[in-house]
Amino acid sequence: MGHCIFCSIIDREAEASIVYEDGRTAAFMDIRPFTPGHLLVVPKTHAANLAELAPADGGAMFQVGQRLAEALRSSEVAAEGVNLFLADGVIAGQEVFHVHLHVIPRTAGDGFGLRGRPTNPPREDLDYLAASVRGRLG
């Protein structure tokens, strides 16, 4: 593995505003926040993407995200709601290849959002795709 900015942050070799850490995870402020207070939670063991991520690290990352979401709501960060977001792969918008969970505080009119989507696609289409994914769960 070459240089990884999030590994450098975990190792205290790169600057970061760290909010939380435990044996498995660390959380710090995003330097290009979607909204003020935007945090990232990362596993301490480097994993480039979900395929490389140990399930226990994924579970720990989500649990920390859940705790941070609660903390944000009662902190001085304006947070009437929270989005959890994870980009896996370039096409999904992943820019840093060390898995991370975005914890994004939300307020009315903050402008953050995903694009529109169709409502009520045919049930047979939903069933077909559900079966395809189900078949790969192992």
- Residue ranges binding ligand AMP (CB under 6 A): 5, 14, 16, 28, 30-32, 40, 87, 93-96
93 binds, among ligand AMP, Zn ion, none (CB under 5 to 8 A by kind): ligand AMP
6 near Zn ion, judged by CB under 5 A:
yes
18 or 130: CB nearest ligand AMP: 18
Could you tell me whether strands 25-29 and 18-21 are parallel, antiparallel, or unpaired per DSSP bridges? Answer: antiparallel
Q: Is 5 in the site for Zn ion (CB under 5 A)?
A: no
* For ligand AMP, the closer CB: 95 or 124: 95
DSSP state of 90: G
- Binding mask 41-80 toward Zn ion (x if CB under 5 A, else -) reads -----x----------------------------------
DSSP string of 58-71?
HHHHHHHHHHHHHH
Give the integer Cα–Cα distance in Å for 66 and 71: 9
Phi-psi region of 89 (alpha: psi -120 to 50; beta: other; left: phi over 0): left
46 binds, among ligand AMP, Zn ion, none (CB under 5 to 8 A by kind): Zn ion
d(CA 104, CA 82): 5
3 a catalytic residue: no
Q: What is the Cβ-side half-sphere exposure of residue 41, based on CA atoms within 13 angstroms?
A: 26
Residues that bind Zn ion (CB under 5 A): 4, 6-7, 46, 98
Which residues are identified as catalytic? 100
